[in-house]
Chains A and B, each alone.
Chain A
């Protein structure tokens, strides 16, 4: 699903250049649930940005679902993001004046799906995250866990190839975190490919594979026995 070869990225900070990613190589197969771990400054966020086409690499190859991702202009990047990727953010990033259903329908709007179909799909995904009866509520009327579940529904609505989650439980208490992880595991069970950036070991343990970054290189890449979140809920 994802092939990355010898990825480099450096940022210019005045006269100095900061080498953030120093040759990353890794592949993700379809249906994997991967945790990317590392302390701050390890390059994990930069890697996620590049995976999410929010930033571009200096050198190296990035192939997503057999499509080489390079030389993207804004419009093309937007289309690819819309088609291939679903994002889940730490701070949910729901649009505060739109109802839950409208938020979920937003990526479909950018796919130019007709209004009615958008609404149906939005309800379907809200149901999947267990929030169908909250469809008409504004984000301000939802709890943190509910907001993140709406955000997950929104990421799923576009039916992306890969779900990218950036610290999805970072703003949640541990009980709610496990609920969200339970949901993510169930979505993964259905065959969806998911990448999670986290620095919490218990969250990483709930994935099937942990990639450990330090100072811009992968220092550890191991498959693990998945801890099911269900038991903590």
Chain B
């Protein structure tokens, strides 16, 4: 099929019409270039969104409570729902396969003092699991461990900004800092990719705070991560299950949105992927339309070439060329021009993205790039486009009557 003669024909046809071939090839190359760049932009947006949220573990779920807004189960509306340590144990027991990490959060604002430096900060009292949920990066010392929790130790992990503000360049590890007048030992410092604000936070064991402030087992919020092998559907299904179990547990009306709120990051991701998915489709349509004009251009040039070569095709037929061999000739040429110019466009786009893409890191747009699947798809589109562009001209060529070779007098 791909014998030398066919290549020779294509070579001659192209080299006889260099400018025309270049111009039409350019339109296809340009179409593919734009298609790839658009897809890469959507990909960059997706990356940007993901980065914005990946500060926290992307498979996290937060359980918050509030005040019921509806009467239900014999209770009046306006009841305050309070989470306790038992709820953590309850979740662990009820959903052993669904959860990965789980930790309560007790919020406390505090004025902190080290020597003469003071400042006011928010403390989150948590379990050791919280490090994984919040993706806290401990850069010095260690995080809260199980012993701290069991002993209700007065230890704290402070943010980088806190250390900067209070310790003024001193190493905080092992030093004592006063929170509301009570001394806590600094066991570690952390940084956060997300923002500077998070680095103004302080972590301490839940039990310590529960004991210090009224011997309660109250917690403000439960954060957990679900089994990371879950896909979007399974994740959403899990949080729905969690919600209905908790609403039953606290006797909250199923449709009551105020009493219990479960926030699942998966929902955000679902929205984002819906959004970017829609954008992808829009982009593909726009790209294909641009490509279409290129295809029409190539079809056009092929029709012209055939017109020019009608006599030659007639001669070939008189010499015994079957219609299929003529169709093949035209199709190959069209696929060749389309594919070659398309690949050039694809190559330039890919090279540009590889060179510039990783340097783009701004807000909701990061590292625009194309995946292998896009490249493969684009290649298939190109070949199909080439066939489409050549099809009508090829049929036209096949219909050329060999008689035209004779009627030249």
Contacts and interface: CB of A to CB of B under 8 A. Distances in A.
Asked if A pairs with B, the answer is yes
Given A106-B316, A109-B5, A93 B322 contact: no
B406 A75 contact: no
Interface of B: 3-5, 12, 16, 311-312, 315-325, 398, 401-403, 405-409
Contact of B320 (A83, A93, A115, A170): A83
B279 to A, nearest CB: 48
A93 B16 CA distance: 18
A89 B317 contact: no
Given A48-B406, A166-B406, A78 B12 contact: no
A26 interface: no
B320 A107 contact: yes
Contacts of A45: 406-407, 409
User: Range of interface residues on chain A?
Assistant: 20 to 34
A176 interface: no
Given A93-B315, A95-B312, A95-B315, A74 B322 contact: yes
A49 B403 contact: yes
B326 to A, nearest CB: 9
Interface string A45-89: 100110010110000000000000000001100110111000101
Contacts of B319: 81-82, 87, 106-107, 110, 154, 158
B277 to A, nearest CB: 48
Given A75-B324, A87-B318, A110-B322, A93 B405 contact: yes
A111 interface: yes
B320 A89 contact: no
Nearest to B406: A166
Contacts of A79: 320, 322
A158 B405 contact: no
Given A95-B312, A115-B4, A49 B320 contact: no
A75 B405 contact: no
A232 interface: no
A93 B323 contact: no
B12 A91 contact: no
A91 B406 CA distance: 9
A91 B408 contact: yes
Contact of A90 (B320, B321, B401, B409): B409
18 contacts: A49-B406, A54-B406, A55-B403, A75-B324, A78-B317, A78-B323, A81-B317, A82-B319, A82-B320, A89-B405, A89-B406, A93-B318, A106-B319, A107-B319, A110-B319, A110-B320, A110-B321, A158-B320
A82 B409 CA distance: 24
Contacts of A166: 406
Contacts of B312: 95
A167 interface: yes
B321 A78 contact: yes
Nearest to A76: B322
A49 B19 CA distance: 38
Contacts of A93: 311, 315, 318, 405, 408
A75 B319 CA distance: 12
Nearest to A96: B312
A54 B12 contact: no
A167 B16 contact: no
A54 B405 CA distance: 10
Nearest to A84: B320
B322 to A, nearest CB: 4
Contacts of B316: 95, 106, 110
Contacts of B401: 54
B331 to A, nearest CB: 17
B325 A54 contact: no
Given A78-B320, A82-B320, A110-B321, 7 more contacts: A45-B406, A49-B406, A75-B322, A89-B408, A106-B319, A110-B320, A111-B320
A87 B398 CA distance: 20
Nearest to A154: B319
Nearest to B3: A115
Contacts of B322: 74-75, 78-79, 110
Contacts of A158: 319-320
